[in-house]
Amino acid sequence: RWKQTITAFEGWDIPKRTKIVSLYQIVGDTTIMFQGINIECLKIAANSESKFGKGHSVFLFHEAYGFVLIENEINGFSTRLKLIELR
């Protein structure tokens, strides 16, 4: 487990100098289908809090490919970023 504090600057409707505190934890290993093959990834979960609300994130990280999946839920809104191709 580790704690990280970042300061967001203006953009994405975030006022200047907004602090976001996140608590991360390695959940374990998981498998995901990527380009037709199963790859082993490290699963990391995070809970975040700022003056705008609370959020939860899940990251799947592969040693060679980097982050292959990032899912965020903040105040009921969800985003999902997924690696779709290597070139």
Residue 71: both structure tokens together: 């899912």
Residue 39 contacts residue 28 (beta carbons within 8 Å)? no
Cα–chain-centroid distance for residue 34?
18
pLDDT at 85 over 80: yes
- Higher-pLDDT residue of 74 and 44 is 44
The Cα–Cα gap between 15 and 62 comes to 33
Provide the mean pLDDT of the chain.
88
pTM for this predicted structure: 0.82
Contact indicator for 41, 34 with CB cutoff of 8 Å: no
Average pLDDT over residues 30-50: 93
> Alpha-carbon distance 77 to 4, whole Å?
22
